[in-house]
């Protein structure tokens, strides 16, 4: 079946440094790639997304890049702050059956003060 | 947060009992989804709905059924709960096939 791999599973960075999380997907027809942030005990929150006709999208300190040829996309967080500490999930759309998402297994980001 | 609620928020039940979880939205969104979240597995789709009375299976649908008789409500039923169904269940809604917005979750424990 379709699959999304996410790396690393845990990531620790010093406050102010950058963090990068990478995902690869298997469905060449995937055309929508959202990223979610989930704080402990909370719901996943959509933080940024990208569609397949765009190579990069930025929103303040976060950005997402997409390489359709290689079938991978990445989340970049610059100038990290303690409140960025959370679990981040990537997802890719799939048309296997009806249009839906496949999620990666998550990255636990710790920003050390 | 989007106008989406889940009930109950916590439930403990015994193996073999039926359980129904409710997702209610006030956004009039067409698409609704049920996911389960387990350590090491991320979010896995159980069932989803693309309209009233229109539902389909996700990747982990065995042991679960759903119903959607009104736009605002999407029910998930465990016909006979098992310990492997202990999990956190999230409902999500979306105006179209792209964005999905999650509810607060239901923590279910099957003893």
pLDDT in tens, A68-82: 999 999 999 999 999
Band the pLDDT of B85: cuts 50, 70, 90: very high
Indicate if the pLDDT at residue B110 is higher than 90.
Answer: yes
Instruction: Return the ∠ at Cα A97 (arms to A94 and A102), rounded to 5°.
Output: 30
CA distances from A102 to A9, B12, B13, B68 (A): 17, 28, 29, 23
Our CA-based measurement puts residue A50 at a distance from the nearest CA of chain B, in whole angstroms, of 10
Per-residue HEC secondary structure of B73-95 comes to EEEEEECCCCHHHCEEEEEEEEC
Chain A CB within 8 Å of residue B44 CB: yes
Helix, strand, coil share of chain B (percent; to 5)? 5, 60, 40
Per-residue HEC secondary structure of A4-16 comes to EEEECCEEEEECC
Tell me if A89 and B42 make a contact (CB, 8 A cut-off).
yes
Tell me if B56 and A34 make a contact (CB, 8 A cut-off).
no
What are A20-55's pLDDT values in tens digits? 999 999 999 899 999 999 999 999 999 999 998 889
Which residues, including other chains, have CB under 8 Å from residue A7's CB and lie 6 or more apart? A21, A22, A23, A107
Helix, strand, coil share of chain A (percent; to 5)? 5, 60, 40
Our CA-based measurement puts residue A59 at a distance from the nearest CA of chain B, in whole angstroms, of 16
Closest to A1 measured CA to CA, from B88, B67, B63, B57: B57
Confidence (pLDDT) at A53:
84
Tell me if B98 and A32 make a contact (CB, 8 A cut-off).
yes
Question: Which residues does chain A have within 8 Å of residue B56's beta carbon, measured at their own beta carbons?
Answer: 97-98
Please give the average per-residue pLDDT across A53-74, as a whole number: 94
What are B47-65's pLDDT values in tens digits? 999 999 999 999 899 999 9
Does residue A99 contact residue B97 with C-beta atoms inside 8 Å? yes
Q: Residue A11's beta-bridge partner residues?
A: A109
Which of B98, B101, B103 to mutate: most A Cβ within 10 Å?
B98
Dist CA B36 CA B38 (whole Å):
7
| B69: three-class secondary structure by DSSP | strand
Instruction: Return the ∠ at Cα A26 (arms to A8 and B55), rounded to 5°.
Output: 105
């Amino acid at each position: 079946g379709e699959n999304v791999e996410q790396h690393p599973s845990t990531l620790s960075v010093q406050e102010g440094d950058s963090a990068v999380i990478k995902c690869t997907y298997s469905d060449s027809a995937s055309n929508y790639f959202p990223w979610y942030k989930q704080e402990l005990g909370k719901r996943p929150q959509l933080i940024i997304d990208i569609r397949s006709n765009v190579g990069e999208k930025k929103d303040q300190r976060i950005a997402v890049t997409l390489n359709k040829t290689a079938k991978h996309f990445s989340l970049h967080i610059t100038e990290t702050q303690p409140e960025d500490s959370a679990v981040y999930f990537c997802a890719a759309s799939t048309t296997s059956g009806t249009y839906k998402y496949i999620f990666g297994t998550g990255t636990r980001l710790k920003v050390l003060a | 947060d989007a106008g989406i609620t889940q009930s109950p928020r916590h439930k403990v039940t015994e193996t073999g009992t039926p359980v129904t979880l409710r997702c209610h939205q006030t956004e009039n969104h067409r698409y609704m989804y049920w996911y389960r979240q387990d350590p090491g597995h991320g979010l896995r789709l159980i069932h989803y709905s693309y309209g009233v009375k229109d539902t389909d299976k996700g990747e982990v649908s065995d042991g679960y059924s759903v119903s959607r008789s009104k736009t605002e409500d999407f029910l998930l039923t465990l016909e006979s709960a098992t310990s492997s169904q202990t999990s956190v269940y999230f409902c999500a809604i979306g105006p179209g096939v792209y964005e999905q917005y999650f509810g607060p979750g239901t923590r279910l424990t099957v003893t």
